């Protein structure tokens, strides 16, 4: 079986999560489940209980408590090792911009017996620099240098402008005066979370000019965002504006607007789409969701990822759901004669690894 390239994921927790922490990683919600309900009772929860217990020597669908007890008995390091090595992922591209005591790329690669490279989150990079350099002009120079340095080692950049503002930002790069003013405002207010669209756009354009692939959060995520402002179609004018730079844009997740992400990947040569979060969270429905991606997205433009974060289980679930969904779809299409077996095999290799290798030179 071809090792997968997971072009968008995060590290795993070094320590054992307790049951509440574990459950919190199964949802995009920022709050405990409503009274009388549980986030184990979701497609993701059920998929986790299907695929992971057997990897730790338990029967599928065993109760969460039994699974968590077994996991604790093994210890975080051993559980992480067992799970990651069973995921079938051969390369991790790791967005290192999330908080928590998480493994970095090298440690993740070691645990998983795989390769890893870094994806640099633009807002995180800028916020760290803002904590150290409070003069606007110097900050902007330091930022430019940091982005340039990152471009030398990273596999790509990532923006969460969708979370911080929405994707309905002005498409062109900000002018020098408005950029300097926005920078000064932000620095003098303490250089906290960047939400000013002027700064967010500056980060996007700075990354675009490096020539590295640029990942953009689109579609659903935690309640920090307003979902209708994360429709990837809102990026249309930015996509057009950035096209001459040669920057390749990778639209992450997309659900429930994933068909629109597929459309953009279809009509714009520099746009790619990602299955990410959309499969893990839809569980038994991953086949249906993946099929919708495979309507308009050219087969050379769709990329596998897990968006796994915190729990090694999420790598397993993301990878298994993807593989099973793809197998079923392709078997159906070759079985009916709609596709040839050779084409199906070729497309599977592209989406699983080849497209990411081409885009990220990974």
> What residues from 202 to 221 belong to the interface with a second copy (CB under 8 A)?
220
User: Which C-beta is closer to a second copy: that of 129 or that of 248?
Assistant: 248
Least distance CB 275 / a second copy (angstroms) = 14
User: Which C-beta is closer to a second copy: that of 43 or that of 306?
Assistant: 43
Among 194, 294, 314, 326, contact with a second copy (rule: CB under 8 A)? 294
Least distance CB 312 / a second copy (angstroms) = 21
> How many Å apart are CA 319 and CA 228, to the nearest integer?
28
Listed in sequence order, the residues at least 6 apart from 88 whose beta carbon sits closer than 8 Å to its beta carbon are 1, 3, 4, 319, 323
Among 122, 125, 160, 296, contact with a second copy (rule: CB under 8 A)? 296
**In sequence order, what are the beta bridge partners of 302?**
273
Rule CB under 8 A: say whether 236 interacts with a second copy. yes
Among 188, 195, 331, 340, contact with a second copy (rule: CB under 8 A)? 340
> How many Å apart are CA 136 and CA 106, to the nearest integer?
34
Let me know: does 52 contact 76? Beta carbons within 8 Å: no
> How many Å apart are CA 303 and CA 224, to the nearest integer?
25
Rule CB under 8 A: say whether 298 interacts with a second copy. yes
Least distance CB 284 / a second copy (angstroms) = 4
Rule CB under 8 A: say whether 292 interacts with a second copy. yes
Per-residue string for binding with a second copy, 242-271, x by CB under 8 A?
------x------xx--xx--x--xxxxx-
Distances (CA, A) of 224 to 43, 120, 160, 161, 215: 22, 21, 11, 12, 19
Least distance CB 262 / a second copy (angstroms) = 8
User: Which C-beta is closer to a second copy: that of 36 or that of 99?
Assistant: 36
Per-residue string for binding with a second copy, 17-56, x by CB under 8 A?
----------xxxxxxxxxxxxx-xxx--xx-xx------
> How many Å apart are CA 130 and CA 197, to the nearest integer?
16
**Pair of tokens at residue 322:** 């993807």
Among 304, 309, 322, 339, contact with a second copy (rule: CB under 8 A)? 339
Among 66, 185, 228, 361, contact with a second copy (rule: CB under 8 A)? 228
Least distance CB 103 / a second copy (angstroms) = 26
User: Which C-beta is closer to a second copy: that of 32 or that of 192?
Assistant: 32
Kindly identify the residues of this chain, within the stretch 103-142, that bind a second copy according to CB under 8 A.
Answer: none
* DSSP letter string, 8-76: EE--BBSSPP-HHHHHHTT-S-SSPPPTT--TTSSHHHHHHHHHSGGGGTS-TT--HHHHHHHHHHH-H
Burial class (CB in 10 A: 0-12, 13-18, 19+), 139: buried
Least distance CB 299 / a second copy (angstroms) = 4
How many residues touch a second copy under the rule CB under 8 A: the total is 74
Count of Cβ atoms closer than 10 Å to residue 340 Cβ:
11
Residue carrying the six token digits 């997971």: 6
| Start-to-end CA span in the chain (Å) | 19
């Amino acid at each position: 079986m071809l090792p997968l390239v997971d072009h968008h994921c995060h590290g795993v927790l070094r320590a054992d999560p307790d049951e509440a922490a574990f459950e919190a990683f199964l949802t995009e919600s920022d709050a405990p489940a409503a009274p009388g309900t549980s986030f184990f009772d979701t497609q993701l929860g059920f998929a986790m209980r299907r695929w992971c217990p057997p990897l730790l020597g338990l029967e599928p669908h065993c109760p969460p408590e039994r699974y968590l007890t077994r996991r604790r008995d093994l210890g975080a390091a051993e559980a992480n090792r067992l799970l990651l090595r069973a995921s079938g992922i051969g390369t991790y591209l790791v967005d290192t911009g999330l908080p928590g005591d998480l493994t970095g790329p090298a440690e993740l690669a070691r645990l998983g017996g795989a390769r890893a490279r870094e994806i640099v989150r633009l807002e995180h990079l800028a916020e760290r620099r803002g904590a150290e350099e409070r003069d606007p002009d110097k900050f902007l120079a330091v930022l430019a240098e940091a982005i340039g340095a990152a471009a030398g080692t990273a596999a790509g950049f990532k923006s969460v402008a969708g979370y911080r503002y929405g994707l309905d930002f002005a498409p062109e790069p900000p002018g020098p005066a408005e950029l300097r003013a926005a920078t000064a405002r932000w620095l003098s207010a303490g250089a906290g979370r960047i939400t000013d669209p002027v700064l967010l756009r500056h980060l996007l354009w700075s990354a675009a000019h490096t020539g590295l692939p640029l990942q953009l959060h689109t579609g659903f995520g935690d309640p920090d965002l307003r979902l209708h402002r994360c429709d990837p179609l809102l990026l249309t004018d930015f996509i057009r504006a950035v096209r001459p730079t040669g920057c390749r844009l990778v639209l992450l997740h997309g659900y429930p607007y994933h068909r629109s992400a597929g459309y953009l990947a279809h009509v714009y040569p520099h746009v790619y789409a990602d299955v990410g979060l959309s499969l893990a969270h839809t569980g038994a429905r991953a086949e249906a969701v993946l099929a919708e991606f495979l309507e308009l997205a050219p087969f050379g433009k769709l990329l596998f990822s897990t968006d796994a974060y915190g729990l090694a289980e999420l790598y397993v679930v993301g990878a298994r759901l993807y593989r099973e969904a793809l197998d079923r779809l392709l078997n159906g299409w070759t079985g009916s004669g709609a596709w040839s077996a050779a084409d199906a095999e070729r497309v599977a290799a592209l989406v699983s690894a080849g497209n990411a290798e081409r885009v990220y030179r990974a």
